[in-house]
């Protein structure tokens, strides 16, 4: 299992559009991928699960991946988060 932490940097948090970008990315990997915030652990391939986290700007999340491509999956998610999920700032 590979895991890492990241912070939500985009001003609107992890709302529908960035959640969609995240689900599109995670769907490319064979590994099981989860996001954890507080005591909530959700499937990162589920848009509803991601939205349930209600992650606002500054929220810290942990990503866990388990499978053949787990390291690549975690790295890709960290890069997407660092790029503010592709969202232009308002």
pLDDT (tens, 9 = 90+) of the chain, 90 residues, equals: 999 999 999 988 999 999 999 999 999 999 999 999 998 999 999 999 999 999 999 999 999 999 999 999 999 999 999 999 988 654
Catalytic residue among 15, 37, 41, 84: 15
Q: What is the pTM of this model?
A: 0.93
Task: State how far the Cα of 42 lies from the Cα of 36, in Å rounded to an integer.
Answer: 6
Domain parsing of the chain, residue ranges: 2-86
Bridge partner residues of 17 (DSSP): none
With a CB cutoff of 8 Å and minimum separation 6, the contacts of 72 are 29
Active-site residue, 15 included: yes
> 2-86 falls under which CATH superfamily?
HPr-like (3.30.1340.10)
């Amino acid at each position: 299992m590979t895991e890492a932490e990241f912070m939500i940097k985009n001003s609107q948090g992890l709302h529908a559009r960035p959640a969609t970008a995240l689900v599109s990315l995670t769907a490319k990997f064979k590994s099981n991928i989860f996001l954890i915030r507080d005591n909530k652990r959700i499937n990162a391939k589920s848009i509803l699960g991601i939205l349930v986290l209600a992650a606002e700007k500054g929220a810290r999340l942990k990503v866990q991946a388990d499978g053949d491509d787990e390291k690549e999956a975690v790295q890709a998610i960290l890069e997407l988060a660092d790029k503010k999920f592709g969202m232009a700032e308002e």
